[in-house]
Amino acid sequence: MPGYNTEPAYKARMEELINSAGIGSHARILPFEQNLIPLIKQADAVLVCSRMEGLGRTCVETMLMKKPVIGTNSGGILELIEDGNTGLLYPPGDYLKLADQIEKLMNDAELRERLAVQGQRFALETFSVEKYGGHFNQIIRELRGRPGASLEELTPAIMEMTDQSFLELIKNWKISHSEN
């Protein structure tokens, strides 16, 4: 799991729990990572265990990469995951239900594939440039025609307002799907 800049005592306690459970070869706390995309690419599935998410960008990125996702049934995640259709849900803090959902996913290859495909379809349809970034793109298109507002000049401001990795992900999906 990607680590955050946590207090050393909390990190030590988490490492102690991992070791005492005998799962040290399967679970470890990684250093903080701004760009999670390389980690998601390596994963069989992604868990979004936040008690409350505004949007749940990690869910969207996971779905776009055609990976199944398990998330809490709270906040913005409920707008992204339809339980059993685009992912699996569990109540925040209910580690037994989370374990059940993980086990369900591990034991059912057909379910993993179906959730990955349907999650990707949902993310591509919902977060397309036209639907999700339409207004932003309209502003950029309008600015292109004005002197001193070339895309090259706007790029630093765009990157400051958004996360480059997310933009690259959307662009790559658009390119890969236009080739098919």
Residue 128's pLDDT is 73
Q: Model pTM? A: 0.67
Q: How many CB atoms are closer than 10 A to CB 73? A: 15
pLDDT for position 112: 97
Token code pair at residue 104: 């369900």
- The second-level CATH assignment, the architecture, of 34-127 is 3-Layer(aba) Sandwich (3.40)
Residue 122's pLDDT is what?
A: 95
Helix 164-179 crosses helix 57-64 at what angle (to 10 degrees)?
Answer: 30
Q: Give mean pLDDT in consecutive 10-residue pieces for the chain, a chain of 180 residues.
A: 65 90 85 82 90 83 95 93 97 94 96 97 84 66 60 60 54 59
- pLDDT recorded at residue 82: 96
- Domain-wise residue ranges, the chain: 1-31, 34-127, 128-180
pLDDT in the model for residue 171: 64
Confirm if 27 and 3 have CB atoms less than 8 A apart: no
CA nearest neighbour of 52 among 69, 74, 71: 74
What pLDDT sits at residue 163?
Answer: 54
Enter the tokens of residue 94.
């209910």
Place of tokens 């002197």: 147
